[in-house]
Amino acid sequence: MKTVSLTRLLIHLSAAVSMLSVAGIAFAQADKYKPGDKIEYLESPAQDLWEPGVFMYATPDGKQPVIRKKPNEFYKDGSQTAFSWERIRPFNPGVKQLPTAPAPPKANLPPPLEAKPQTPPAAPEARQLPRRTLHGPLMSKEEVLNFLQTRLGDQPFAHPQREQIKKELAEMIKQRGVNFRYETLSDFSNQLGKLGAHSDIIFPLQANYGPPTKEPWLMGKWNLSKIGATVDYKGNDGYIYRQTEIGVKDVGSVIITADGKYTWNIDVPRGVTQGNWRKATPAEMPYQGGDAIVLLKAKGGVDWIVHQDRVTELKGDWVNIAQLDSRQIREGGFREGKAK
């Protein structure tokens, strides 16, 4: 029995040493490359076919490198995938990425040519990988999808930086705006869902049609109509009823001036409220980019936020005005002199 126990112990120790050795080799490989390094990956072991790619990072356990492959007809900017360390090597511009073939006899080799210095080609991602471009033209559907597909790769739900990537895209949408109106039931929305984009991307897409609002656009007189929140109440028959949002026209107007003042003409008999306004903070505009303002101690003695309505498909200029703390009580306004 002692012999059997000793043998098992040796087997376990040997296995542990092997695992430590493999882990050590993996982490040593991870230290060998830096994010953005040009590499070659073995695409086809059978043909010894090496292709150019880019090292992105190592998996958290250091066991695999995550690389970006060269572009193809399905992934114009190259797909991102986890590989094995033994199938990548540093990029060598002097070696062509072609299947190797047996060398001809030395007697048939031509005289060696004088070596000429070669300029390594730019890394694929330097030319094609979407960057976090906060300034630029309105974003298209294609640009939105391309950003997610290229950044998240073939397995978008398994990408370790998925949430951060989506936050970057949402910020791009807010800063630049989009040239299309988001439709819930569409091929575009289906593709977004397959890439793991939900309300964190959909809400910014809905709220940022057209270019971001500039503060001067908010100045002027806005004729208001009231929008009541959805309310549940109990009827005399004992049933629970829901009253959805309702609108009431002509409940006053608000005048906003560039000197930091406002005048809110509230529907009779409550009169007029005057005060100052300030710029809205980014935290107060979680989904929409551009400028917004906050009317201080306005109607009802509370603060109200004013921002351009970039969702409603109506003619003319429109704003949304809502109580800053809850956003439940809202009023809509159209610019005086503009067609409704």
Cα–Cα distance, 87 to 98 (Å, whole number): 15
At residue 4 the predicted structure's pLDDT band, cuts being 50, 70 and 90, is very low
Strand pairing of 330-335 and 220-228?
Answer: antiparallel
Helix and strand numbers, DSSP H then E, in the chain: 6, 16
| pLDDT tens digits along 290-337 | 999 999 999 989 999 999 999 988 888 999 999 999 887 889 999 987
- Domain 215-335 sits in CATH 2.40.128: yes
- Range of weakest confidence among 126-135, 246-255, 290-299: 126-135
The pLDDT tens digits for 85-105 are: 889 999 876 655 544 444 445
Is residue 278 within 8 Å of residue 291, measured between CB atoms? no
The answer to pTM > 0.75 is: no
Rounded CA separation 164/30 (Å): 23
Question: Cβ(318)–Cβ(334) under 8 Å?
Answer: yes
For the segment 24-70, what is each residue's pLDDT rounded down to a tens digit? 555 567 678 888 889 999 988 877 888 899 988 888 778 888 888 88
**Residue 179 parent element (H or E):** none
> For the chain, which residues make up each domain, given as ranges?
130-207, 215-335
Digit-coded pLDDT (tens) for 33-43 = 888 889 999 98
- Which of the two residues, 236 and 317, has the higher pLDDT score? 317
Looking at every residue in the chain, the average pLDDT score rounds to 79
The residue that leads in pLDDT, 184 or 116, is 184
Model confidence band, residue 187 (pLDDT cutoffs 50, 70, 90): very high
- Strands of 65-68's sheet, edge to edge? 80-82, 65-68, 49-58, 38-44, 88-90
